[in-house]
Amino acid sequence: MNASPEHQRILLDVADLDRRIAQAERARTKPSQAARIGELVAIRQEQLRELTALTGTRDDVRTELTRLETDVSLVEKRRARDAERLATATNPKEAQALEHELASLARRQSDLEDIELDVMGRVEDADAAVAAQQALLDTTTAEGTALTAQAKADVAAATELGAQLARDREAVTDALPAPLLAEYTRRAANSAGAALLTRGTCEGCRILLPGTDLNDIRRSADDAVVFCPECGCILVRTEESGL
């Protein structure tokens, strides 16, 4: 295949653009934040499960406290009623029974109040546990929200860059003969496509070419298209090639 040295040099720009287009495509489809965002989704689910469990426990303890408060208030009412009846009791047997019940109710109230104190402490602990878990969840959510916003901005920038590079590529390849571009495209599937030959080294695969290959290249006409024997890309020769 033959192509003018100018056209061959343009292939280096195409190869560079293709590298940057691939880079932009990677940034668009796999933003750097994606892995951490995935981790945060899993962490958040776990923290939410824990929060639901802790909230359930707290609600149970609160219900227990409400029940105790009701019990205490019932005992108080009954004590007041009994005391009233005792004040007006004329029958000694009835008075004795009331005194007995009042003593028993006092013990009952004292016991209930002891339990109430204990449950109030448990409510406090449960509230603190829920608040701490909610704070953990909020931190995770905030990190996720910030990273998602960053990722969206990065994806938008990469999309814009990719479109700009594609326009640049179109402008550059417009000048190339179709067979040369087709040859480049075919070879670009498995290599850099085209690379500069510098001091006997292919810039595409960084391998120093054997002397016999270099001699063949030296003997080739300027408009001959030559290929790297290692990676198969089109080797572009310029003044820098040091042939």
Pairing of strands 194-198, 207-208: unpaired
- Answer for which of 40, 228, 234, 236 binds Zn ion (CB under 5 A) is 228
Are 57 and 101 contacting, i.e. CB atoms less than 8 angstroms apart? no
Please tell me what DSSP assigns to residue 233: P
Look up residue 181 and give its amino acid.
Answer: L
Question: What is the nearest approach in angstroms of Zn ion to the Cβ of residue 193?
Answer: 11
Question: What is the nearest approach in angstroms of Zn ion to the Cβ of residue 207?
Answer: 6
Question: Binding residues for Zn ion, how many (CB under 5 A)?
Answer: 6
Nearest to Zn ion of 51, 205 (CB atom):
205
Question: What is the nearest approach in angstroms of Zn ion to the Cβ of residue 231?
Answer: 3
Residue 61 interacts with Zn ion (CB under 5 A): yes or no = no
Taking only Cα atoms into account, the Rg of the chain, rounded to an integer number of angstroms, comes to 42
Question: What is the nearest approach in angstroms of Zn ion to the Cβ of residue 233?
Answer: 5
- Answer for which of 230, 238, 241, 243 binds Zn ion (CB under 5 A) is 230
Q: What percentage of the chain's residues is helix, strand, coil (to nearest 5)?
A: 75, 5, 15
Nearest to Zn ion of 54, 209 (CB atom):
209
Residue 130 interacts with Zn ion (CB under 5 A): yes or no = no
Nearest to Zn ion of 213, 230 (CB atom):
230
Residues 195-224 binding Zn ion (CB under 5 A) are: 202, 204-205
Question: What is the nearest approach in angstroms of Zn ion to the Cβ of residue 11?
Answer: 14
The residue assigned the tokens 């004329």 is 90
Nearest to Zn ion of 55, 198 (CB atom):
198
Residue 135 CA, distance from chain mean position: 19
Dihedral (CA of 202, 204, 207, 209) sign: negative
- Answer for which of 12, 15, 61, 231 binds Zn ion (CB under 5 A) is 231
CA atoms within 13 A on the CB side of 31: 19
Question: What is the nearest approach in angstroms of Zn ion to the Cβ of residue 36?
Answer: 37
Helix 5-29 with 178-188: angle, nearest 10 deg: 40
Contact residues: Zn ion, CB under 5 A: 202, 204-205, 228, 230-231
